[in-house]
Structure 1
Amino acid sequence: MKYDTIAAIATALGESALNIIRISGPDAFELVKKIWRGPRFDKAPSHTIHYGHVVDGDTVIDEVLLSVFRPPRTFTTEPVVEISCHGGPFVASTILELLVRCGVRLAEKGEFTERAFLHGRIDLTQAESIVDIIASRSRLSLELANKGLDGRVRTLVERFRNDLLAIVAQIEVNIDYPEYDDVEQLTTSVVLPRIDALIVRLLEVLTRARDGQVIREGVKTAIIGRPNVGKSSLLNALIGEDKAIVTDIHGTTRDLVEASVTFGGITLHLVDTAGIREAADKVEKIGIEKARQALADAELILFVLDNNVPLSEEDERLLDLTAHKKRIVIINKIDLESKIGRHFDDSIPLSALNKTHLDALQTRIRETVLTSDLNLGEHTYVSNARQIARLHQALAALEEARRSAQARLPVDMVELDLKHAWAILGEIIGDTQDTALLDALFSRFCLGK
């Protein structure tokens, strides 16, 4: 990686009150001085702000505030300057162009965060938490991301690695120095309970990780039912606006209507589908095929039945079709006479049109999609898909080690799997030489971050 001086616009381009240009690198102060008119800042204390102008020769480009950050107390641990200028894309782009003419290089996506990682200021889980903070959709997802940025996931992973390392180190001592009588001899029977304990702990983390993913990514939710049961009315009631067209004509919804809503810290990515039935025409057939695909992709089904109409064969067929999915049965139109003729345990009765009992549905959704009561203060929740995938790989390595120990293979054979689990866990926090992994990860960041 080049440790030259880089710059990027750190704020979103567009009409706004302010923009910020971030500059980081060994020559940041000297290069910014070339476009600066104002009091000297290069000798100023760290974390100070200075008033002045950005100039191009004798021409004033903008009236700005300049912030000085001295290493190592900066995001990248390098000298950093941030220029706060007026908003709008032209002013910021002009200042950035001046900096490039003076010798600054345009930063690549995520390069500031990558430098923070490579300089040891943050680990890979903290870098990914920065992305999660930016992308958070609820207070709960923001809190979860901030826990990651504080180093909670790193601490969790390091504990596992330290426990693995203690076992591996003792095996190494037994192999290399068998004459040491005061060192416990680690036979497979002695190692096995320790491996079992690590597996139990890792399974607990992975169970909580499912809730972490729900908080971070939300839940793909399909509203399913035959035509005219009130699916679109339910979507509108949940999001609080009339996004879907509602009529008493069967087949009004012909295409998917999508929306997102957050309550209780859980984001639902809702899809209102066309009523699944035999299509009356080609257009409706396309909508029904999309509805079937939405059902297949959904992580949660809101299955809507009409309280005012007897249960039909079509309803029964759809109930069978969704039986294998995580599902909540909703009895809609309870403001009308009940003619459905069947009781459904654990169903939610409501009126989407009158917006009654929606709170009961929201509570049920939370209970259905979460595996346990959330406790972000006591537990660490891993939510990043890459990190969870590595945890599953580490679990597989530990299970292989357990099988080797149960088969009473030589303890050094068990050690190979334990080392493999230790290395995989290291990839979570960035203890890896895989530059392709790092390049792919940091390319997901925005410019200026």
Structure 2
Amino acid sequence: MIPSLDDTICSLATPPGVGGIGVIRVSGPQAFAVTDAVTKRPRDVSSASYAGHTLHRADVLAHDGSVIDDVLLAIFHAPRSYTGENVVEISAHGGPVPLRRILSRLLTSGARLAQPGEFTQRAYLNGKMDLAQAEAVGDIIAARTDEALTLARSQQSGRLSAEVAEIRHLILRLMALIEASIDFSEDVGELDMELCEREIREAQSRIVRLLATADRGILVREGLKMVLAGRPNVGKSSLLNALLRVSRAIVTPIPGTTRDTLEESVNIRGIPVRAVDTAGVRDTDDLVEKLGVERSLESLRGADFVLLVLDAVTGETEEDRSLRAQLGETPHLIVWNKCDIQMPEDSGADAVCVSAFTGAGIEALEETIAGRVLAGGVTDTASAGAIISHSRHRRALEDAQSRLDDALVTLSNQMPADFISIDVRGALMSLGEVTGETATEDIIHEIFSRFCIGK
């Protein structure tokens, strides 16, 4: 359910904890009145009388009139604010006690605590941004690589929205032709089927170009779970440390040192990767090590990509071949380690040789990983056009494409224009889900519920 816009909401807009400054945001029709109720301003001037986009010093008062904190009030008048409503941002000292007490005063003076993402949701509902741009706000906050940030900024700027709007314009123009042929056939004549087909195929080609960017865009935004697997003592933990450029995993010459999974974040050519070091897979009677092996196999089942690490000194063993067979269809790459000691007899064209100890081959490994997971689709996100970065957008575009396919079938069967109209209108509705024109309340709620409180 979409929250009421009649309420005045407030929330901490900065991370909880200790810092030099903490910001509490207040938004809604009574934002100025609620702020006035808890603050003392010079000459008791109402905050509503301050010019927009200005800062003013004030004291936040407790119920007994004592000063809780000395703050700055940032004033924003509707509609020239983030939410499109009257907004006050209270910058206080960044300790948990003053911020908690200020927030408590606001809540007892007419405001309510904001729901997750409610400030951005209000910005969307008040026409400050469309749904795709609103989603990009959350992506900016969650970005784990520079490329992910660039992609999110592109979407927030409206690049994707503009492309979808152009496709919708094509289909709206087609709808106008179809509707005119239905309602005013005596004046405009019968529907030009050849023109109709050309317009549909043009819209489809634009959708296809957008969909071609989805794999890369979603990968850059969501990241990749990459599991390092192999027998004990082949150098999985050393390889993880080499990728991280820091000693994070414990490394010893003793087989079976790693008894549990260890997960770390690493940036590989702009792709946010969750690299998972696992216990060496082998038959063992050691109860603790056996539990580690079970967790390794579980991690493999949930992996997006696997680095199967082999020992170049010992060569490929029957255990290695067995583990490779267990990967099935999971995308993977063979990594020969310890190549500073000995090169494998037959590394194969589908493998990379590295030395986790010296760092040799690590950059080439990263290039190969990026090329594999992007299937050769490496592009410069900053200079690229509109890019799909959400599975929701891809589903909506695929549905629009399917509806346009139905329209072409209807055309080829020479069915009446009314039937073509149904299919084309369905495509229009699907495209509208991307930017929000036709999004349901359930979709809107799902999107903003993933935001943090205060944004």
User: TM-score higher than 0.5 here?
Assistant: yes
1:192 aligns with 2:203: no
In 2, the alpha carbon distance for the partners of 1:402 and 1:283 equals: 61
Match 1:397 to one of 394, 403, 423: 403
Letter of the structure 1 residue corresponding to residue 125 of structure 2 = L
Match 1:350 to one of 313, 332, 354: 354
Helix, strand or coil: the match of 1:171? Answer: helix
CA deviation map 1:64-120 (0-9, x unaligned): 111111121101111111111111111011111112222222222222111111111
1:384 aligns with 2:384: no
Q: Match for residue 309 of structure 2?
A: 304
Q: Among all aligned residue pairs of Structure 1 and Structure 2, give the percentage whose two residues are the same amino acid.
A: 38
1:428 aligns with 2:419: no
Q: Match for residue 373 of structure 2?
A: 369
CA contact under 8 A between 1:311 and 1:342: conserved in structure 2?
A: no
CA deviation map 1:217-255 (0-9, x unaligned): 111111122222111110111112332222223332232
Q: Match for residue 118 of structure 1?
A: 125
Cα–Cα, structure 1 residues 373 and 309, in superposed 2: closer, same or farther, change >3 Å? same
Q: Match for residue 8 of structure 1?
A: 11
Cα–Cα, structure 1 residues 232 and 7, in superposed 2: closer, same or farther, change >3 Å? same
CA deviation map 1:101-156 (0-9, x unaligned): 22222222222111111111111111111111110111111111111111112112
Q: Match for residue 20 of structure 1?
A: 23
Q: Match for residue 220 of structure 2?
A: 215
CA contact under 8 A between 1:311 and 1:341: conserved in structure 2?
A: no
1:49 aligns with 2:55: yes
CA contact under 8 A between 1:38 and 1:53: conserved in structure 2?
A: yes
1:417 aligns with 2:423: yes
In 2, the alpha carbon distance for the partners of 1:166 and 1:279 equals: 69
In 1, the alpha carbon distance for the partners of 2:408 and 2:232 equals: 53
CA contact under 8 A between 2:5 and 2:28: conserved in structure 1?
A: no
Normalising by structure 1, we get a TM-score of 0.93
Q: Match for residue 161 of structure 1?
A: 168
In 1, the alpha carbon distance for the partners of 2:295 and 2:416 equals: 56
Letter of the structure 2 residue corresponding to residue 290 of structure 1 = R
Q: Match for residue 252 of structure 1?
A: 257
User: What is the CA-CA distance between 1:211 and the residue it aligns to?
Assistant: 0.4
Instruction: Between 351-360 and 288-297, report the one with greater CA deviation.
Output: 288-297
Instruction: Between 140-149 and 303-312, report the one with greater CA deviation.
Output: 303-312
Match 1:445 to one of 427, 447, 451: 451
Structure 1 alignment gaps of length 5 or more? none
In 2, the alpha carbon distance for the partners of 1:416 and 1:359 equals: 53
Letter of the structure 2 residue corresponding to residue 34 of structure 1 = A
In 2, the alpha carbon distance for the partners of 1:128 and 1:198 equals: 24
CA contact under 8 A between 1:192 and 1:406: conserved in structure 2?
A: no
CA contact under 8 A between 2:182 and 2:417: conserved in structure 1?
A: no
Helix, strand or coil: the match of 1:234? Answer: helix
Helix, strand or coil: the match of 1:84? Answer: strand
Q: Match for residue 273 of structure 2?
A: 268
Helix, strand or coil: the match of 2:339? Answer: coil
Structure 2 alignment gaps of length 5 or more? none
CA contact under 8 A between 1:38 and 1:51: conserved in structure 2?
A: yes
Letter of the structure 2 residue corresponding to residue 395 of structure 1 = Q
Q: Match for residue 291 of structure 2?
A: 286
Letter of the structure 1 residue corresponding to residue 214 of structure 2 = A
CA contact under 8 A between 1:305 and 1:329: conserved in structure 2?
A: yes
What is the aligned length?
446
CA contact under 8 A between 1:52 and 1:65: conserved in structure 2?
A: yes
The 5 A counterparts of 1:55-94 are 55-56=61-62, 57-94=64-101
CA contact under 8 A between 2:31 and 2:88: conserved in structure 1?
A: yes
In 2, the alpha carbon distance for the partners of 1:193 and 1:248 equals: 67
In 2, the alpha carbon distance for the partners of 1:406 and 1:287 equals: 60
User: What is the CA-CA distance between 1:323 and the residue it aligns to?
Assistant: 5.9
CA RMSD of aligned residues (A): 2.0
In 2, the alpha carbon distance for the partners of 1:345 and 1:92 equals: 60
1:314 aligns with 2:353: no
In 1, the alpha carbon distance for the partners of 2:205 and 2:438 equals: 26
User: What is the CA-CA distance between 1:305 and the residue it aligns to?
Assistant: 1.4
Instruction: Between 386-395 and 345-354, report the one with greater CA deviation.
Output: 386-395
Normalising by structure 2, we get a TM-score of 0.92
User: What is the CA-CA distance between 1:387 and the residue it aligns to?
Assistant: 1.8
CA deviation map 1:5-61 (0-9, x unaligned): 221111111111111111111222122112222223432211111122112353111
Instruction: Between 402-411 and 348-357, report the one with greater CA deviation.
Output: 402-411
Q: Match for residue 158 of structure 2?
A: 151
User: What is the CA-CA distance between 1:424 and the residue it aligns to?
Assistant: 1.3
Match 2:345 to one of 318, 341, 362: 341
Match 1:326 to one of 308, 311, 331: 331
User: What is the CA-CA distance between 1:190 and the residue it aligns to?
Assistant: 4.1
Q: Match for residue 100 of structure 1?
A: 107
CA contact under 8 A between 1:186 and 1:411: conserved in structure 2?
A: no
Helix, strand or coil: the match of 2:213? Answer: helix
Cα–Cα, structure 1 residues 394 and 287, in superposed 2: closer, same or farther, change >3 Å? farther
Cα–Cα, structure 1 residues 249 and 71, in superposed 2: closer, same or farther, change >3 Å? same
User: What is the CA-CA distance between 1:448 and the residue it aligns to?
Assistant: 1.6
Letter of the structure 2 residue corresponding to residue 438 of structure 1 = I
In 1, the alpha carbon distance for the partners of 2:67 and 2:218 equals: 50
In 1, the alpha carbon distance for the partners of 2:414 and 2:97 equals: 70
Letter of the structure 1 residue corresponding to residue 409 of structure 2 = R
CA contact under 8 A between 2:339 and 2:355: conserved in structure 1?
A: yes
CA contact under 8 A between 2:181 and 2:417: conserved in structure 1?
A: no
